[in-house]
Amino acid sequence: AVKVIKTQKEGKNEVVLSIATVREIKILREMHHDNVVHLHDVYIFKRATMREFPRSSL
């Protein structure tokens, strides 16, 4: 699964993530529970942030 989040533009080569987004990434990286999909990776692009979750049996 992939979650796409809009980012705020700071400058030509800078991308700003909200505090809530950074907090969510941190929590999902640390969380290991059977009912929560594990965060696999985070990709940051100029226009969006993508989070990749491994395929699950849900």
Contact 50, 15 (CB under 8 A): no
pLDDT confidence band for 58 (50 / 70 / 90): low
With respect to residue 21, please indicate whether it lies within any of the assigned structural domains. Answer: yes
With respect to residue 44, please indicate whether it lies within any of the assigned structural domains. Answer: yes
Number of domains in the chain: 1
Q: What is the pLDDT of residues 22-36, one digit of tens each?
A: 898 899 889 989 988
With respect to residue 12, please indicate whether it lies within any of the assigned structural domains. Answer: yes
Domain around 26: 2-52
How many helices (H) and strands (E) the chain has is answered by 1, 5
Residue 49: pLDDT over 70: no
Q: Which residue has the higher pLDDT, 27 or 50?
A: 27
Question: Which pLDDT belongs to residue 51?
Answer: 62
With respect to residue 57, please indicate whether it lies within any of the assigned structural domains. Answer: no
With respect to residue 37, please indicate whether it lies within any of the assigned structural domains. Answer: yes
